[in-house]
Amino acid sequence: MRRGYSGFYKGNFLKSSYEYAYAKYLDYKEIYWKYEDVTYEIKGRRYTPDFFIYDSDGNITKVVEIRGGRDIASIIEAKSKLEELKSVEGINYELLLQKDLTILYQSEPNLPSFTAITGEWINLPETELCAGYDAELNPNYGYSHSEETKRIIGDKSKIRWEDDNYRDEMMIKLKESSYKISDKLRGKLRVSRETRECIICGKEFSVTPKTPKRYCSKQCSVQMVQEHAWEANKRYKKDNREKIKTHIESWAINNREAVQKAQYNKITPLLKDVVSEVSELYNVKDFRMISYAFFGEDKGRKELLRHLKNITK
């Protein structure tokens, strides 16, 4: 699991602030997109790109993968999958790193800075840092790597260390770490600690006063992420249903004569344009979502037309 601040945006569970920044950019440019919309089979393994970009006819024009830029091995792997996807499916692709997203935002003077947008996502109450699973929470806990896997890991590590920026950064961190360990052994580090209560399970845990940590474990942290994300998604769906209902009712009032004359066996031509509008504006994937916005369940087109006739009498 990639480390990042996760949460819902327009009904999509985004896994990082970079993905949020790109989604906001696409919305600003009025580009129709979907998130993790299709899963492909690549060399015997399932692969789902991050973003799908569509044209006005609903055809995929390209897929986009988002990466941070530091993990060279991850970038190489993503590039390989995208190349294979283009070879097999004929789909164009784009691999965007942090620096590429920064340039996109710099090219649009009416947009906030890239840093401001990522900060906006991180500070939303519905988003939480999801750092992954460790120890017994890790599904691979208790298993050792095969010799082949160890070789692959070693090869990828060598690739990362061949990057000058990565190597310099790691050497600085290793030196800092060695200094801290040395000082600790000499008894020089005497940082006071305080006891807090986990806001999820109530268990007490010890931390330094300045740390923002609110959970006793990553398990509780992940649980909070899921709870916040689902609550945010519920609010988003409820708000979206109200917008869909208001939009279609306003359309019906403005097209009163056509609605009143419409026959129940010719509903699709009447609603074609307005359904297309709400599909693009509110990410509606099929008519059942529209019916649910009005009745809380799927009652079909006839019941919707009957409702629109009633409000336009």
Could you read off the pLDDT of 145-165 as tens digits, one per residue? 678 778 888 888 888 888 888
N- to C-terminal Cα separation, the chain: 55
Range 31-34, long-range pairs (CB < 8 A, 24+ positions): 32/56, 32/280, 34/283
Give the pLDDT of residue 178.
64
- Are residues 234 and 125 both part of a single domain? no
- Are residues 124 and 2 both part of a single domain? yes
- Are residues 5 and 135 both part of a single domain? yes
Domain boundary residue, one of 139, 157, 177: 139
Q: Domain for residue 196, yes or no?
A: no
Cα distance between residue 11 and residue 35, in whole Å: 10
Domain boundary residue, one of 86, 114, 139: 139
Asked whether the beta carbons of 67 and 74 are under 8 A apart, the reply is yes
Beta-ladder partners of 8: 13
Q: Tally the domains of the chain.
A: 2
- Are residues 135 and 236 both part of a single domain? no
pLDDT digits (tens, 9 = 90+) for 93-123: 999 999 999 999 999 989 999 999 998 888 8
- Are residues 247 and 114 both part of a single domain? no
CATH number at residue 46: 3.40.960.10
Mean pLDDT, the chain, whole residue set: 84
Please name the residue that has the structure tokens 């709400």: 278
E strands along the chain, which residues? 4-9, 12-14, 33-35, 40-42, 45-47, 51-54, 60-66, 93-96, 128-130, 194-197, 204-207
- For residue 187, pLDDT over 60 is answered with no
Largest CA-CA distance found in the chain, in angstroms, rounded: 89
- For residue 86, pLDDT over 90 is answered with yes
Beta-ladder partners of 54: 60
- Are residues 28 and 127 both part of a single domain? yes
- Are residues 134 and 235 both part of a single domain? no
Asked whether the beta carbons of 66 and 22 are under 8 A apart, the reply is yes
Residue 50: domain span = 1-139
The verdict on pTM exceeding 0.75 is: no
Cα distance between residue 95 and residue 89, in whole Å: 17
Q: Domain for residue 76, yes or no?
A: yes
Q: Domain for residue 113, yes or no?
A: yes
- Are residues 127 and 236 both part of a single domain? no
Q: Domain for residue 55, yes or no?
A: yes
Q: Domain for residue 54, yes or no?
A: yes
- Are residues 21 and 127 both part of a single domain? yes
Q: Domain for residue 20, yes or no?
A: yes
Domain boundary residue, one of 86, 119, 139: 139
Tell me which residue of 26, 246, 217, 32 sits closest to 131, measured CA to CA.
217
Q: Domain for residue 208, yes or no?
A: no
Q: Which of 22-31, 178-187, 206-215 has the lowest mean pLDDT?
A: 178-187
Does 143 or 211 have the greater pLDDT score? 211
> With bands split at pLDDT 50, 70 and 90, how would you rate the model's confidence at 188?
low
- Are residues 134 and 252 both part of a single domain? no
Q: Which of 127-141, 216-230, 267-281 has the lowest mean pLDDT?
A: 127-141
Residue type, 282: Y
Q: Domain for residue 166, yes or no?
A: no
